[in-house]
Amino acid sequence: MNLPAYLAPFRPRIFSALGGYTRERFAKDLGAGMTVGIVALPLAMAFAIASGLSPQAGIWTAIIAGGLIALLGGSAVQIGGPAGAFIVIVYGIVEQYGLPNLLISTACAGVLLFLLGFLKMGTLVRYVPVSIVVGFTNGIAVLIALSQLKDLLGLQIARMPADFFSQIKALAAHMDSFNASALGLGAACFLGLVLWPKLFVSRSLGTNGFTARLISRMQAVEGVQLLRATRAVSRVPGPIVALITLTVFAWLLHLPVDTIGSRFGGIPQALPHFALPAFSWDTVRLLLPPTLTIAMLGAVESLLCARVADQLSGLPKHDPNQELMAQGIANFVVPFFGGMPATGTMARTVTNLRAGATSPVAGLTHALTLMLVVLVAAPLAMHVPLAVLAGFLVHVAWNMGEWREFARLRQYSSHYRLLMLGTFLLTVVFDLTVALQVGLLLACVLFVRRMSSLFQVVETERTADSVHFQLYGSLFFGAVAKIDPVLSVVESAPGALLVRLDAQSLQSLDASGLDVLVQLHKAVVLRGGRLVISGLNAQPRAVMARAGFLAKVNEL
């Protein structure tokens, strides 16, 4: 079936990626998928709990959405699932609208995402200024870290409020319930995640100086078995090491800390049930702001992640429209199984690449691995301390934030600084919805201001009965006021004038710009003069001809 040019064909990347698929590639995808599946378990639980949901909501989102995004997406190696960027949004929606309305809002956002891709709007997301992206990313990172202080410090707060100042007030009011054991576990988790990769991984040779010397000594004393064991340990993901060791440590010592079991009663060892949330159009209209936020954030996160994956992998570039359609289907489906919003995830995608993934088969394997782990080992999850999961999320927040951008602000323009700092503060103090709306509006205003400053009208010659002007730049609605000096010259002239506009450097013209030229022409003719335009480029000429203005003026 031939689709109109403005509609995108539905072509999942997996079909082209499997062309010439070999056993060696399958082995790489299988190993990468299993690695990412194990890494995804603690992160999925942590994201869900931080969002005010049960841990299984994050797990089944990672399984269902992750599988659908891999199967139907436009990227070869992107891993989808719950993401840290959604924590603040989801928590706020649950607090304000309740869990059933979160499910409806997520499903509606899925429809919007699919339509964005189907209507070939995937490239529009790239037009969001990088200053806004950096601002709200850093703001979200701060809010994620702030939201985890409750479990990281072991504070006994029944329910954390959603807004920034209320959270600060609640934390300060409950500092008397501080738990040193919880802080120790959380800090150990954070430090372990930071240090583990540095013990074995090097940017050049695969090992750092310490490990290289250790291996050299092993080889010198013929410690072959120990050498093999060290290399095997180096392949174990840091999150799994932290999760298992700290959970066992807390369990053996009977540390007085909250766990998944004490707060949520564990994780069901069964598949999720399909259930339709109560739906009405009145509810959909009420949920329009959070729905747009979920869709916008999901689109930006997934496509940014896919672009990074392209740069790291060297594989064929992703299809942004197909990726958005897959994200839409995934977000439409997961709410019916009690899931949360999903998008492309940077940490798991990079882990997938480093583990050797070559196709979407790795993403499918990640989902299947995670499902098997949950079905087999779900009862063990009840012993996981919440402080350990808080340590995971503090690490996520630390890696998410682009903190160096604050130190480099002086290198950028005042417009960049205003957009970045404004979006950051609005995200932290209010919420991401307000930050995105105000940030994009401010970006448009600043863009109009900058473009209008580039338009110039320069008087090049004047005699008793004629005046010449040179036009530079784009004459659009934001720059029409700069024609006022020309009108003033015409209106103050003692007699008829020949007004010549040299448009050789006029790059573009919009309806407002055309209207001000029409008004100038009327003023000139009213005083018995003539308006001559010379050197018109293609776009301004087309606008004038289409409106019939070109036939009314003299052109050279």
| pTM of the model as a whole | 0.75
CA triple 71-86-414, angle to 5 deg:
115
Q: Using H for helix, E for strand and C for coil, what is the string for 215-259?
A: HHHHHHCCCHHHHHHHHHHHCCCHHHHHHHHHHHHHHHCCCCCCE
Out of 13-27, 161-175, 427-441, pick the least confident: 427-441
CA triple 35-37-38, angle to 5 deg:
70
Residue of 20, 28, 44 whose CA lies nearest to 371: 44
What domains appear along the chain, each with residue ranges and CATH number?
A: 24-400 (no CATH), 455-555 (3.30.750.24)
Rounded-to-10 torsion of CA 85, 88, 91, 93: -90
pLDDT at 556: 60
pLDDT class for 213, splitting at 50, 70, 90? Answer: low
pLDDT at 122: 84
pLDDT class for 202, splitting at 50, 70, 90? Answer: very low
- Over residues 75-93, the pLDDT tens digits come to 999 999 998 888 888 988 8
pLDDT at 214: 46
More reliable by pLDDT, 218 or 507: 507
Out of 174-183, 303-312, 411-420, 427-436, pick the least confident: 427-436
Mean pLDDT of 253-261: 91
pLDDT at 504: 93
pLDDT at 240: 82
Question: 155-158: which pairs have CB atoms within 8 A and are 24 or more residues apart?
Answer: 155/179
pLDDT at 82: 92
pLDDT at 364: 95
Mean pLDDT of 59-88: 92
pLDDT class for 412, splitting at 50, 70, 90? Answer: confident
pLDDT class for 212, splitting at 50, 70, 90? Answer: low
Distance from C-alpha of 86 to C-alpha of 47, rounded to nearest angstrom: 8
Give yes or no for residue 17 having a pLDDT over 70. Answer: yes
* 529 alpha carbon, distance to own chain's centre: 57
Give yes or no for residue 217 having a pLDDT over 80. Answer: no
pLDDT class for 221, splitting at 50, 70, 90? Answer: very low
Mean pLDDT of 331-347: 92
pLDDT class for 503, splitting at 50, 70, 90? Answer: very high
More reliable by pLDDT, 240 or 126: 240
pLDDT class for 204, splitting at 50, 70, 90? Answer: very low
Mean pLDDT of 149-177: 88
Strand partners, 462: 467
pLDDT at 188: 95
- Which DSSP symbol is given to 527? T
Mean pLDDT, rounded, of the chain: 86
pLDDT at 207: 46
Out of 79-93, 164-178, 259-273, pick the least confident: 259-273
pLDDT at 200: 60
Mean pLDDT of 277-299: 85
Mean pLDDT of 491-501: 89
Give yes or no for residue 234 having a pLDDT over 70. Answer: no
Enter the tokens of residue 472: 């530079």
Q: Using H for helix, E for strand and C for coil, what is the string for 458-489?
A: EEEEECCCEEEEEEEEEECCCCHHHHHHHHHH
Give yes or no for residue 233 having a pLDDT over 70. Answer: no
Give yes or no for residue 3 having a pLDDT over 90. Answer: no
Mean pLDDT of 391-398: 88
Out of 87-96, 232-241, 521-530, 542-551, pick the least confident: 232-241
pLDDT at 230: 52
CB 504 within 8 A of CB 496: no
Give yes or no for residue 215 having a pLDDT over 60. Answer: no
Q: Give the three-state DSSP class for 304.
A: helix
High-pLDDT (> 90) share of the chain, %: 42
More reliable by pLDDT, 330 or 392: 330
Give yes or no for residue 220 having a pLDDT over 60. Answer: no
